[in-house]
Structure 1
Amino acid sequence: MAGMAAGAQAEVLPATASAQAAQAQLQAWRRDLHQHPELGGQETRTAAIVAGHLRALGLTPRTGIAGTGVAAVLKGGKPGPRLLIRADMDALPVAEETGLPFASTVRSSYRGQPVGVMHACGHDAHVAILMGVAQALVARKDTLPGEVMFVFQPSEEGPADPNEDFGAHRMLAEGLLNDFKPDAAFGLHVWAGLQVGQVGYKAGPLLASADEWLLTIDGKQTHGSRPWEGVDPITVGAQVLLGTQSMIARQINIAQTPVVLTAGQFNSGVRFNIIPDQANLVGTLRTFDPAVREDVIARFDRIASDYAHAAGATATLKVINQAPATINDVALAQRLRPALERAAGAANVVDMPLQTIAEDFSHFANTVPGFYFLVGATSEGIDPAKAPANHSPKFLLDEAALVNGMAAMLQVTTEFLEAGAH
């Protein structure tokens, strides 16, 4: 494996051998899914493939959880702990520009807009990897301690229907764990920011909490030439937005924990010479500490209200949490790092900095101790810092990541189960 000294002979672990043996299947599954991507809440074909595979393995999948979610439990032949392993299934409203022979040409509609559809984040790889992990664990079920729930989750990126909930929260709300109480939850993500062969790891906070905020400023309409006769919500909205940036820079201890507050939309008015009566701003807030998140939201609300009051307008802030921060259980992460090192090579396990992206795997990790890691996806010879990032229409997965991801997940899974056997 990458990182070994020239000529060194390494033991081929059972997890690695299983992953290498499944390479052709992993690639075939991934390419088929890549060519037929489905948006959040619409993963019917993907779910059918997953459920069919699980049935072929002799498992009894539950289907239709959170609309299209699939789950199945494997009972090992010996007593031991219970583990949940999750893969997300949905694609993004992105038109593919990779030029691959199996590139997606799918078109769909996303919240009223015509869009291309692409596995631009790598969830096709996640599904293939977990299908491979399930197959390998079933093959050794007689000697396997404990039980494993395989969870194939819809809508991690958010549902195509804005009235629906994100997938992890919805699966839990619909009783995914009513009859199965796991001792831990594992997940992974292929990552363009790492070289293929590397695995990214961090104990404690890893990925940010994601909030969508919506700010409505109500003013008073007037002619653009006579602003003193109205209340300009556009000016107030601009002042509030600048005020939030000053708040982050001057009121939040960013040496302790990063905070990002970004506006992605600022919509107001219909004509060049009319001051409208309302302005709407929409954006995202990213934090790593729940207490800091609450503090920032309270300050944001006060800034908006105070600027609006000073101008004679009103401000209404609504904050919707899409995912809490993904925080790896420290003891569990430290315990499993050697397993990652055995699977990938010690030199290839990278200590990750905080990442301001978010993941709704955090809902599982808030229910039980969680462990989430990143699998390098960028080919050797390409600088990961310059490679098209996840969510890019040019995101290009090195398929060696499929074998590496399966080997790493199998290794941490078997070591966790065997350590807890009784």
Structure 2
Amino acid sequence: MRLAVLTASLVAALAALAPAAHAAERPEVDAAAKAVQAQVVAWRRDFHQHPELSNREERTSKAVADALRKMGLTPRTGIAHHGVVAIIQGGRPGPKLALRADMDALPVTERVDLPFASKVTTTFNGQTTGVMHACGHDAHTAILLGIAQSLMKMRAQLPGQVMLIFQPSEEGAPVGEQGGASLMLKEGLFKDFKPDAVFGLHVFSTVQVGQIAVRSGPEMAASDRFNITVHGRQTHGSRPWGGIDPIVTASEIVTSAQSIVSRRTDIARLPAVVTFGAINGGIRYNIIPDDVKMIGTIRTFDEGMRQKIFADLKNVATHVAAANGATVEANVPDTEGNPVTYNDPALTARMLPSLKAVVGDANVIEPPLQMGAEDFSYYAKEVPGLFFFVGATSQGIDPQTAPGNHSPEFKLDEQSLDIGLRAMLQATLDYLEAAKA
């Protein structure tokens, strides 16, 4: 009898500590998703047809702010240039939660045959190019607007407060400018409203529509840029001994730098990447130039590895240049990079039942570590964060060979809009209700 009482007490105690789990989707989520579905699709198509580059999201920002005002919200605009933020005040006491969507597009010329395909062109880095939502930020913005509309309709019963973050410049500010999540935080995003947690999502081509991918702990890599300039001495191509060849020196730097990951980094623990993306030097076939410039990216998942690779690349560049009689300017990194996107383990475990309630246990999968980066990572450094991927590739198409995010042929299955909205709304309501209790 005593054992039975103790067992019952233990079960009750564990149940009180366990996250709120739902065997099925909340009925209010289903009703809200059905009510707003057509509007979310319309918003997404409008944003897709009128894409804007990072720090240039004027039309998008205005459309978002106008939509929020029609819902009865009072958005704050102009944060980090074109960011829009609004707070939904629930009718019951509870926690504070932030939800984030990014708004910017890419300098990519669309090659998808859609009636709402982008025809926008612009000048980027001195070249004429198309502009396209090739990464799905149009979907993210539309989904968050749909969530805002849904939450406003249930505001009286809502516990706590929800901050809606519509963020510009996730893809990176233009050269010489600041932007994105880091600038929003610098300008006081969390100063007066410090959330207890922050959620974000991303439509993803390598995940089938109907699936959600999420992993605990490190999920996406830290991303850093570098630029290295090799200074030689110009001479005629027929008399290489009359100068110092920066092209040969730069080539040796690229070759030697390959050993940083393959021989100096413990990739058995976590992966890392050092990639040279561009080399520019010289103007004529028979002139050895004065200088060669190289740019590239570094991807890591551990801060210690990150700093060691910075030091190793500087060391390689400096000593290879010296061995060739050249000098070097090694800016490693050359700007503030994105930190690792890290999902708080406790928060992730707590919210998994919410995601599974929407798509089913078998359709919530753990993806491999992603070498791509996300500036959502800045928010997740301030408060516990959860960032998950929503499948974007249609059934019948292999997501491993489908055109990827950033491709001119990236094609979003619009079912992902409904799934993303349901997943984020379910997670939001479950979090607020559980935290309130």
Scaled to the shorter chain, the TM-score interval is over 0.9
Q: Among residues 355, 362, 368, which one is paired with 2:377 in the alignment?
A: 362
**Which residue identity lines up with residue 174 of structure 1 in the other structure?**
E
Closer/same/farther in 2, CA of residues 119 and 229 from structure 1, 3 Å limit: same
Counterpart of 1:321 in 2: which secondary structure? coil
Residue 390 in structure 1 maps to residue 405 in structure 2: yes
Residue deviations 1:102-153 (CA, integer Å, cap 9, x gap)? 1010111223221101111100000000000111111111111111110000
Contact kept, 8 Å, 1:86 with 1:187, in 2: the verdict is yes
Residue 196 in structure 1 maps to residue 209 in structure 2: yes
Closer/same/farther in 2, CA of residues 179 and 10 from structure 1, 3 Å limit: closer
Q: Take 1:369 and 1:11, find their aligned partners in 2: how far apart are those partners?
A: 24
Q: Take 1:233 and 1:264, find their aligned partners in 2: how far apart are those partners?
A: 18
Q: How does 1:230-245 map to 2 (within 5 A)?
A: 230-245=243-258
Q: What residue is the counterpart of 2:282 in the other structure?
A: 269
Q: Take 2:296 and 2:362, find their aligned partners in 1: how far apart are those partners?
A: 39
Q: What residue is the counterpart of 1:207 in the other structure?
A: 220
Q: What residue is the counterpart of 1:28 in the other structure?
A: 42
How far apart are 1:219 and its partner, in Å?
1.2
Contact kept, 8 Å, 2:25 with 2:357, in 1: the verdict is no
Q: How does 1:181-330 map to 2 (within 5 A)?
A: 181-318=194-331, 319=333, 320-330=335-345
Q: What residue is the counterpart of 1:45 in the other structure?
A: 59
Q: What residue is the counterpart of 1:3 in the other structure?
A: none
Q: How does 1:120-139 map to 2 (within 5 A)?
A: 120-139=134-153
Contact kept, 8 Å, 2:26 with 2:426, in 1: the verdict is no
Contact kept, 8 Å, 1:157 with 1:166, in 2: the verdict is no
How far apart are 1:329 and its partner, in Å?
0.8
**Which residue identity lines up with residue 209 of structure 1 in the other structure?**
A
How far apart are 1:223 and its partner, in Å?
1.6
How far apart are 1:322 and its partner, in Å?
3.0
Q: Take 2:110 and 2:188, find their aligned partners in 1: how far apart are those partners?
A: 36
Q: What residue is the counterpart of 2:424 in the other structure?
A: 409
Q: Take 2:176 and 2:234, find their aligned partners in 1: how far apart are those partners?
A: 31
Q: Take 1:95 and 1:192, find their aligned partners in 2: how far apart are those partners?
A: 18
How far apart are 1:10 and its partner, in Å?
6.1
**Which residue identity lines up with residue 316 of structure 1 in the other structure?**
E
Q: What residue is the counterpart of 1:113 in the other structure?
A: 127
Q: Take 2:292 and 2:177, find their aligned partners in 1: how far apart are those partners?
A: 26
Q: Take 2:84 and 2:182, find their aligned partners in 1: how far apart are those partners?
A: 14
Q: Take 1:196 and 1:325, find their aligned partners in 2: how far apart are those partners?
A: 26
Counterpart of 2:122 in 1: which secondary structure? strand
| Residue identity (%) | 53
Q: Among residues 179, 182, 191, which one is paired with 1:178 in the alignment?
A: 191
Residue deviations 1:171-198 (CA, integer Å, cap 9, x gap)? 1111111111111111000001111110
Q: Take 2:190 and 2:26, find their aligned partners in 1: how far apart are those partners?
A: 35
Residue deviations 1:285-340 (CA, integer Å, cap 9, x gap)? 11111111000010111111111111111122111233111011111111111111
Q: Take 2:230 and 2:423, find their aligned partners in 1: how far apart are those partners?
A: 50
- Unaligned ranges ≥5, structure 2: 1-22
How far apart are 1:390 and its partner, in Å?
0.6
Contact kept, 8 Å, 1:29 with 1:128, in 2: the verdict is yes
Report the TM-score when normalising by structure 1.
0.96
Q: What residue is the counterpart of 1:4 in the other structure?
A: none
**Which residue identity lines up with residue 382 of structure 1 in the other structure?**
I
Q: Among residues 55, 77, 85, which one is paired with 1:71 in the alignment?
A: 85
Q: What residue is the counterpart of 1:148 in the other structure?
A: 162
Counterpart of 2:336 in 1: which secondary structure? strand
Q: Take 1:131 and 1:270, find their aligned partners in 2: how far apart are those partners?
A: 50
Q: How does 1:78-89 map to 2 (within 5 A)?
A: 78-89=92-103
Residue 332 in structure 1 maps to residue 347 in structure 2: yes
**Rg larger in structure:** 2
Moved over 3 A (4+): 9-13
How far apart are 1:11 and its partner, in Å?
5.9
Residue deviations 1:222-241 (CA, integer Å, cap 9, x gap)? 12122122211111111111
Residue deviations 1:193-221 (CA, integer Å, cap 9, x gap)? 11111001100011111111100111111
How far apart are 1:166 and its partner, in Å?
3.1
Counterpart of 1:420 in 2: which secondary structure? helix
- Unaligned ranges ≥5, structure 1: 1-8
Report the TM-score when normalising by structure 2.
0.92
Q: Take 1:162 and 1:112, find their aligned partners in 2: how far apart are those partners?
A: 12
Could you say what the CA RMSD is over the residues aligned between the two structures, in angstroms? 1.3
